[in-house]
Amino acid sequence: MRVSSSWKWQLSRTMRLALRWCQLQRGGRGRRGKQQICNRLSELWSYSKLLLRSLYYNTLSDSDTLLDCIFEPVFWVVDNLTRWFGVVFVCLVVLLTSSVVIIVYLFVIPMVVRTYPVHWSIWHLGFGHWVLVMIVFHYYKATTTSPGHPPKDKHNTPSVSICKKCVAPKPPRTHHCSICSICILKMDHHCPWLNNCVGHFNHRYFFSFCLYMTLGCIYCSISSINMFLEAYNAVEVSPPHLYTCFFWMSKCSEQQHLIVVLGKQNLSSSYFQTPPPDYSFSDSTAHKCIIFLWVLTSSVAVALGGLTLWHARLINKGETSVERHINNKEAKRLKEMGKVFRSPYHRGRTNNWKLLFGVETRSHWLTRVLLPSSHPPNGDGILWDSIFTQRDPMAI
């Protein structure tokens, strides 16, 4: 129903209906008058709803649009908090990694050099420093490298859709990041631990950092397991408390007695035949540092290891985290139609890994994967070769 845009006409119409209702209320008598009043009231109520609805309603609005409008302030707060906490998370990663490295240099490496044979000591020193260099290099590159953005020249940009927020063409595999407020080429996700988006140009750095960080945490946990057990036992075994409470039940033929003794008690010699050793302040500090090292590296190894396995599974299928969600919906839609979904960017497991790491020859597995390398990825992130020509368009 079309409503006139003149607010004066709407106001006069409302006034006329109100005056008629007042006249009917004064002169209406009997059943017929009451019926007319009810009809006029319903007409006035319907017209008021129509006026109110004309302020916000259009043919494209639905329940999803209404929910987006309601939760828009919540999304804004979350995005801004994530953007602010990104700096805090980066500082936290640097602080925790530095603390682990310092503890390893102060306690673990001297133990390895002192107790292990020469060849094992050399292996530990070489492997540990190689992992440390790979972690630092890839974290720095993943944090500082731009994930890639669509070109500013909108006329010559190949696109599959238009970004509603940037109002610009979106190339294939491009998605808008609400935290960075810009479109990202081959966007995987926004990582608060990097304070950066993971996209086409830093995807390799992100995955390599996760892989080598997990490997380094596992290495530290295994290397310090014996020291952790010794430190844990040393911390747990402490001198007995001065004040103890004993409950002793004595059964007699006539009654039971409950004796509670509070105060200094001499423990039985069967419990502590030898007094626990007295540790100095430096020894107790070393024990706590070793416990902190093992708990932290073990926890990170489990959590980050699960994330690394998840991304490895995505790489096997040639898709990103965002595309995983889209492809699942598309697979369900095609399954209902009796068809089978196939990702257009899946080129086989080996080829997917080669494309990610930029491996073109066998030597690249050494120079580009096992050693620090800042080579750019294949392609520009705008044009993508599909394994087949899509006849059934898919949501990108």
The angle that helices 63-103 and 118-144 make with each other, rounded to 10 degrees, is: 150
Token output for 372: 């620090």
Best CA proximity match to 372, nearest among 204, 215, 216, 217: 204
Q: Which helix (H) or strand (E) holds 244?
A: strand 243-251
Q: Identify the helix (H) or strand (E) that includes residue 196.
A: strand 196-198
The token pair at 289 is 């540092």
The CA-CA-CA angle for residues 331, 336, 342, to 5°, reads 25
Q: What's phi and psi for 6, nearest 5 deg?
A: -80, 120
Catalytic residues: 191
Partners of 263 in the β-ladder: 244
User: Residues 6 or more apart from 295 whose CB is under 8 A from it?
Assistant: none
Which residues contact residue 355 at a Cβ distance below 8 angstroms, ignoring those fewer than 6 apart? 318, 347, 377, 378
